[in-house]
């Protein structure tokens, strides 16, 4: 039996252009302002809501909730999430998600990110907004304006901190709506990973401005690596935050959940090519990049800049780059 064809009486009366043209000419805004986003932008309220709460319990709860496999629940959660932030899944590989965890850890379609191929460029390991950045001075780094913290406290090692004396640091913040996977900034070998148990404070600008030494309070991992080019030592420090249920690192094949119960030190020898995936966050958070003296931020990399994974982040020391052009790397 053929399905019944229903005619549209409005089409017979007048074409759509004549019916809806006058309404279009009213020039209403295409998107009405979202009052929830305006409220979330109030810094003092944002700080109270995201930090004066049972952070650890809620973060564990978020880990449980995000793992629930239910397409209907996932669609409803995404609808609520979009009330508070711009969630763009247009470049994601998947089109149907069974859980929020699959949304957070989504892969991208091939070609969605381009990794800078230049040998003397250190690429951004993730999509991010650049926070505080600059030189390590007397063992101190800026967290926010007029608020510094000790590199040794971040790394929990005086020897590791010494390797970056007078070096450069960049704070890369991943918002909850961003792509959450992070990649190798250059050809390198990760030879040691340290896990530091800690709290789960929010790491957004309102919290960074109000809580001194915040990065040193939160749960984090420290990836120590050696670059193939020049043998320079670098470190990547993924920092967890409220609602960041876990950090996955491929080099140790361990899911680091909040208050992970050992081991806390992993010697390894994991080689990554430039742009190769190293792991992911199960929500937005922060990666602190450390490089030795001589490296410089790439043009345009300043506080507040928005980067995509693979864009130029640092430039090689001038002398080393010149040597690389005239001899083997």
First to last CA, the chain: 73
Please give the pLDDT value at position 12.
41
> 53: pLDDT confidence band, cut at 50, 70 and 90?
low
Helices (H), ranges, the chain: 9-13, 16-24, 35-40, 43-51, 55-66, 71-84, 100-104, 151-155, 158-162, 205-210, 214-217, 318-326
* Measured distance CA(69)–CA(76) in Å, rounded: 13
My answer on whether omega of the bond before 307 falls inside 30° of 0, hence cis, is no
Identify which of 70-84, 99-113, 123-137, 260-274 has the greatest average pLDDT. 123-137
Reference 66, options 224, 280, 268, 239; nearest CA is 280
Told to judge if 183 belongs to the known catalytic residues of this protein, a careful annotator would answer yes
Considering the candidates 66, 127, 246, 283, report the single residue annotated as catalytic.
Answer: 127
What band does 23 get if pLDDT is binned at 50, 70 and 90?
very low
Inform me whether the pLDDT recorded for 310 exceeds 50. Answer: yes
Higher pLDDT, 268 or 319: 268
pLDDT at 203 over 50: yes
Main-chain dihedrals φ then ψ at residue 121, nearest 5 degrees = -120, 130
Instruction: Report the mean per-residue pLDDT for the chain.
Output: 81
Amino acid 260: pLDDT? 56
- Is residue 127 flagged as an active site residue? yes
pTM of the predicted protein model: 0.79
Q: How far apart are CA 313 and CA 123, in angstroms?
A: 5
For the chain, count helices (H), then strands (E).
12, 17
pLDDT band at residue 268 under the 50/70/90 scheme: very high
Q: How far, in Å, CA of 193 to CA of 177, rounded?
A: 27
pLDDT at 1 over 90: no
Selected residue with higher pLDDT from 123 and 243: 123
> pLDDT at position 5, please?
39
Q: Tally the C-alpha atoms within 13 A of residue 233's C-alpha that lie toward its C-beta.
A: 12
Q: Which one is catalytic: 77, 126, 183, 232?
A: 183
Q: What is the pLDDT of residue 14?
A: 44
> For residue 170, what are the contacts with CB-CB under 8 A and spacing of at least 6?
130, 133, 288, 289, 297, 301, 313, 314
> Alpha-carbon distance 114 to 81, whole Å?
28
Alpha-carbon gap, residue 257 to 71, rounded angstroms? 24
């Amino acid at each position: 039996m053929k399905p019944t064809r229903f005619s549209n009486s409005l089409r017979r009366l007048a074409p759509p252009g004549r019916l809806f043209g006058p309404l279009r000419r009213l020039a209403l805004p295409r998107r009405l302002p979202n009052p929830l986003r305006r409220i979330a932008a109030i810094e003092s309220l944002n700080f109270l809501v995201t930090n004066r709460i049972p952070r650890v319990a809620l973060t564990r709860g978020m880990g449980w909730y995000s793992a629930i496999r239910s397409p209907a629940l996932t669609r409803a959660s995404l609808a609520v999430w979009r009330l508070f932030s711009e969630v763009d899944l247009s470049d994601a590989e998947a089109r149907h998600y069974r859980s929020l965890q699959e949304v957070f850890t989504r892969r991208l379609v091939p070609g969605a990110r381009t990794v800078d191929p230049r040998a003397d460029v250190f690429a951004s390991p993730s999509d991010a907004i650049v926070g505080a950045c600059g030189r390590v001075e007397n063992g101190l780094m800026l967290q926010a304006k007029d608020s510094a913290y000790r590199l040794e406290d971040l790394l929990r090692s005086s020897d590791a901190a010494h390797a970056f004396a007078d070096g450069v640091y960049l704070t890369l913040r991943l918002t909850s709506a961003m792509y959450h996977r992070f990649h190798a900034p250059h050809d390198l070998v990760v030879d040691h990973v340290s896990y530091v148990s800690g709290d789960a404070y929010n790491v957004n600008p309102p919290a960074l401005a109000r809580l001194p030494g915040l990065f040193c309070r939160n749960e984090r991992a420290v990836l120590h690596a050696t670059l193939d080019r020049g043998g320079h030592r670098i470190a990547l420090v993924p920092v967890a935050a409220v609602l960041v249920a876990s950090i996955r690192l491929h080099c140790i094949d361990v899911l680091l959940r909040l208050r992970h119960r050992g081991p806390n030190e992993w010697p390894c020898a994991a080689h990554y090519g430039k742009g190769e995936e190293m792991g992911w966050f199960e929500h937005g958070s922060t990666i602190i990049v450390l490089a030795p003296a001589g490296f410089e931020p790439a043009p345009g990399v300043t506080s507040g800049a928005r980067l995509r994974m693979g864009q130029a982040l640092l430039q090689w020391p001038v002398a080393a780059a010149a040597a690389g052009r005239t001899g083997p790397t």
